[in-house]
């Protein structure tokens, strides 16, 4: 079980906190709206009404004891900056900040954020990949070079084992999971044979994933 702090309970924060809790992780939710905090207190491990712009708030709440802090208050850049700086000063390993645009993202990055989320940009990237290939189901950019992508299994892979396809050597990709008949197979065996309708979760260089999708598109 990992420990997360979610600051801000708009649609992004609420969805994130709820999903992390459903995955059995410890979640400390911080928001400045008492009604929202009361609502979420039934879902997350801890929910606190507090103003993160007040110096010392995060330390008083024990944020330094958590693995990751996610700051979802993109409408208030000053508050996001203050929360980022304090979280990093407290030694939090990973601070992720949602911002409204790349300009704010650059500012937040300069004060120490480990990862920047720009929802509109991220959604645009994912949609572009979905629209340009019928094989790509979903797309997550891990870095400028590497991505995690859901790809429909090519028809000529049906009945073949992962081992015999030699995907890592031929395509430079690693299959980390397979969705098959409504179930998820994590870290599938090399002996697993690809079935009709399987969706592969692959990780690798963006260029290699796109080559695979283009080569096998319908």
Which residue carries 């609502």 as its tokens? 39
Tell me, yes or no, whether 98 and 42 share the same domain: yes
Cβ proximity of 84 and 28 under 8 Å: no
Among 36-45, 113-122, 124-133, the range with the most confident prediction by mean pLDDT is 36-45
**CB neighbour list of residue 101: distance below 8 Å, 6 or more residues apart:** 118, 120
> Exposed e or buried b for every residue in 122-141, given b needs 16+ CB within 10 A?
eeeebeebeeebebbbebeb
CB of 91 within 8 A of CB of 58?
Answer: no
Query: In angstroms, rounded to a whole number, what is the distance separating the alpha carbons of residues 84 and 152?
Result: 39
Q: Are residues 110 and 130 in the same domain?
A: no
Phi, then psi, of 134 in degrees rounded to 5? -70, -10
CATH number of the domain residue 89 falls in: 3.40.50.720
Tell me: do 134 and 193 sit in the same domain: yes
Q: How confident is the model at residue 134 (pLDDT cuts 50, 70, 90)?
A: very low
Same domain as 72, residue 11: yes
Low-confidence winner among 4-8, 11-15, 124-128, 149-153 (lowest mean pLDDT): 124-128
Share the mean pLDDT of the chain: 84
| 126 and 106 in a common domain | no
CA pair distance 206, 113, nearest whole angstrom: 24
* Distance of alpha carbon 116 from alpha carbon 131, whole angstroms: 24
Q: What are 72's two structure tokens?
A: 């979802």
Give me the count of residues in the chain: 218
Q: Which domain holds residue 156?
A: 122-215
Q: What is the 3-state secondary structure (H, E, C) of 110-167?
A: HCCCCEEECHHHHHHHHHHHHHHCCCEEEEEECCCCEEEEEEECCHHHCCCEHHHHCH
> Is the pLDDT higher at 126 or at 209?
209
Q: Find out whether 62 and 44 touch, Cβ atoms under 8 Å.
A: no
Element (H, E) at 208: helix 206-215
Identify whether residues 80 and 95 lie together within a single domain.
yes
The pLDDT, as a whole number, for residue 112 is 92
Domain final residue, candidates 78, 97, 117: 117
| Residue that finishes a domain, picked among 85, 117, 149 | 117
Residues 209 and 157 in one domain: yes
The verdict on 10 and 111 lying in the same domain is: yes
Q: How many domains does the chain have?
A: 2
% of the chain with per-residue pLDDT over 90: 46
Clarify whether residues 94 and 133 are in a common domain: no
User: Do 128 and 41 share a structural domain?
Assistant: no
From 70, 86, 117, the end of a domain falls on 117
The enclosing domain of 132 has a CATH number of 3.30.70.1450
pTM for the predicted model, two decimal places: 0.60
Is there a single domain that holds both residue 65 and residue 82?
yes
**Residue 215 in this model has a pLDDT that exceeds 80:** no
- List, for residues 57-94, the tens digit of each pLDDT value: 999 999 999 999 999 998 899 999 999 999 999 999 99
Whether residue 211 sits in one domain with residue 131: yes
């Amino acid at each position: 079980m990992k420990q997360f702090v979610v600051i801000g309970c708009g649609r992004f924060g609420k969805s994130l906190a709820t999903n992390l809790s459903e995955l059995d992780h410890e979640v400390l939710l911080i928001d400045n709206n008492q009604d929202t905090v009361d609502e979420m207190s039934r879902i997350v491990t801890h929910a606190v009404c507090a103003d993160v712009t007040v110096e010392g708030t995060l330390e008083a709440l024990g944020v330094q004891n958590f693995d990751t802090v996610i700051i979802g208050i993109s409408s208030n850049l000053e508050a996001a900056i203050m929360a980022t700086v304090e979280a990093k000063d407290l030694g939090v390993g990973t601070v992720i900040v949602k911002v409204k645009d790349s300009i704010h993202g650059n500012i937040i990055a300069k004060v120490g954020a480990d990862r920047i989320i720009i929802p509109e940009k991220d959604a645009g990237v994912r949609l572009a990949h979905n629209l340009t290939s019928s094989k790509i189901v979903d797309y997550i950019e891990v870095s400028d070079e590497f991505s995690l992508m859901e790809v429909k299994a090519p028809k000529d892979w049906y009945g073949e084992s992962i081992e015999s396809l030699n995907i890592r050597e031929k395509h430079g990709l690693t299959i980390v999971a397979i969705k098959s008949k409504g179930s998820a197979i994590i870290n599938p065996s090399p002996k697993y044979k690809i079935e009709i309708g399987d969706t592969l979760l692959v990780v690798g260089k963006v260029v290699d994933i796109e080559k695979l999708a283009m080569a096998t598109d319908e």
